[in-house]
Each structure stands twice: as structure tokens, then as C-alpha cells.
Structure 1
């Protein structure tokens, strides 16, 4: 049996996830990052995107992280995030509409392009998470 570590995902609304896992794959500022037990200590930003958890029994669970920071230690990883969602909490139609709205706003000079790009990233992350279900 593989070694496990504690994962805590904390959002402004409270504890989103708190359990022992074998591995998590998150999107960091430099790309995807896989964290396993006994990982070298590290603090990194968490980009908007999907995450995948693998439990000791090899069951998998995916979700969406909407930015944040991760503190990784050999026996525990804590992710503080702006928001986290499970696939069943995501309304696919609403996410697709948000994506289309963001794409239009990126092209329109009267809107804040940076804000529209973040909205686009969030919508794409939600769509990708929902499709992984």
C-alpha cells in the first residue's frame, strides 16, 4: 500500500476537503505539480484549473481550484484557495455561457481585458472539471 499524507483544502466558506490521500495533481504557476507523501517542503501559487486526488485505494476524485496558494510539507499539504468546486456543483450550461461572455468581452475595448481573461480561465476550468466527471 502506498504511503499517504494529509490534504486540507480551505476556501473562504470553510474546509472544502480534509483527508488522507496518496497523491494530488494541481496546476501551479509553473505548470502541473504532483504531490506525494514525503514531498520536499514547498510553497507555491495555485493557478485556476482542475485538480485530481488519488486515494490509497486508487479511487480518484477531481475538482476545480480557482486560484490560491499551497504549502507542501512531507506529511501534510494545505491549499488555501479563493474557491473550490466538485464536478456535481458545477452547472455546465452556466459555465459555457460564462466562457462565451468572457470571449466576447476580451474582444471589446470597453471591458477590462484582464478581468475577462480570468473569467475565461474560471469558465474553462469548470467545463474541464465537469467533463472529467
Structure 2
């Protein structure tokens, strides 16, 4: 017996939307992890929940390194690599990625400061 094809549209109920996001986010992260291991690739995901919380995932390399690698691609190669709904990556996407990268670096710095405060004898490589 086959599955019923769901219509893809916004879930109106906030609770159901959050639950669906959480389940699908976990599935997406699992698939990204498997792809990174099986194919030995660099991968990075950034997601914002319906409530605005940031979720991110990267494979074997730091997410900052993956985005820096993407940003440093020649414009033509980057535009060919990123197509979303028929539109090529533009300056707005680059600025968004740079802002997100800066935010992640800031969050990482705060986490390192907290770790150094809580565990002063722990040697933390950054």
C-alpha cells in the first residue's frame, strides 16, 4: 500500500508547524551527516525554526570554513553552483552568508569564553 501524497503548503497550527520542523530538521541533519560520510564532502546547513531559533550543522569541517570556502569561490562558479527556484545567487545571498558567519563566530567566541570561565584548567583549542 502506497503513501498518500501530502500537499506542500504552510502548516497553519503553530504547535504542529514546530513539531514538523523539529522532526524534519532531524531527518535533514541525519541525511546531511550520511552524505558527508559516504561521499567525503564538506557540508553546512543553516536553519531557522518557526520561532526564529538558529540550528546549524556541519560535517567534518567547521561551518565557518565551509562558508568561507563558498564565499571565496569565483563569482561565475558560485553562481553556477547555487540555483534556487531558477534564480542565481546574488549579492544579497553573499551578504546574508557573511552576516550569518559573523553571528556564528560571535556565538562561538561567547561559548569559548564561558567554557574558559567554567573550566579554567581545560585547554580549549579555537
Per the normalisation by structure 1, the TM-score is 0.28
Structure exhibiting the larger radius of gyration computed from Cα positions: 2
What's the TM-score, normalizing by structure 2? 0.29
Choose between structure 1 and 2 for higher RCO, CA contacts under 8 A separated by at least 6 residues.
Answer: 1
> Which structure has the highest strand share of the two?
1
